[in-house]
Copies of this chain bind each other. A is one copy, B any other.
Amino acid sequence: MPRLLYLFAVAAFSLSFALPLRADTLPVPANLIPFDSTEGEKLLVGAEATKAYFALSEQFVTQQNQAFCGVASLVMVLNALKVPAPASEELAPFSAFDQSNIFTAQAEAVLPRTVIEENGMTLDQLGALAKAFGLKAAVRHASDTNLDAFRRDVRARLETAGQYVIVNYLRSALGQQKYGHISPLAAYDADSDRFLILDVSRYKYPPVWVTASDLFAAMNTPDRDNDNRSRGFLEISR
């Protein structure tokens, strides 16, 4: 093999290691029902509360890095609520929130982007950030409520236009990989007693239907980054 061709071949081979290709999401544990499955599709069609789904699914985004689950979730809700976004050079005269322009001066004053990049967000920080956009945002720690109240209140919100719920839960409690996570809820099916999570780590897991009790248990876990307060959910509206 001519020397130059050999060097090209070595370079191409090395590059194929340096840039491996990946597309697989992780397997979904048996207690969760993937949205994009025969059972998952049927659940949406028969779900009792879907108002949030139709508005949020139009705004579904992938978290930009592994710390931005809360950022991505809030971007979806801001756009679903039609909160005016900063002007965009690319989209002018239109605009929309994304995972860059969400860091307005008001947002930075509450919680700097650099802090989120380092540590992600706690439930309380997510609530504070939502309020920086003038939203009504009620932080609900799971340990301060119970399964029945959670199910009743959140179902009612998912049935109502302009009402959104973002959940903060421990993935490992659901059999997922692995740490604390944040994503919006979109729907509730009463017959199966399951909520639909629009998981923003779309590169890792699909949206899933989770039972109210499994979800509540995964929220009712202490968060070391939040003085061991329990995780929980954020109720948001304009």
Contact = CB atoms under 8 A, between A and B. Distances in A.
A119 interface: no
Interface string A196-220: 0000011110110000000000000
Given A84-B21, A84-B22, A66 B91 contact: yes
A81 B144 CA distance: 43
Contacts of A66: 90-91
A5 B130 CA distance: 29
Contacts of A84: 21-23
Interface of A: 18-25, 35-36, 40-41, 45, 50, 54-55, 57-62, 64-66, 79, 82-88, 90-91, 93-96, 98, 201-204, 206-207
21 contacts: A19-B86, A20-B87, A21-B87, A22-B95, A23-B96, A35-B54, A35-B58, A36-B58, A40-B54, A41-B54, A57-B57, A58-B202, A59-B202, A60-B60, A61-B61, A61-B62, A62-B96, A65-B91, A91-B204, A94-B204, A96-B203
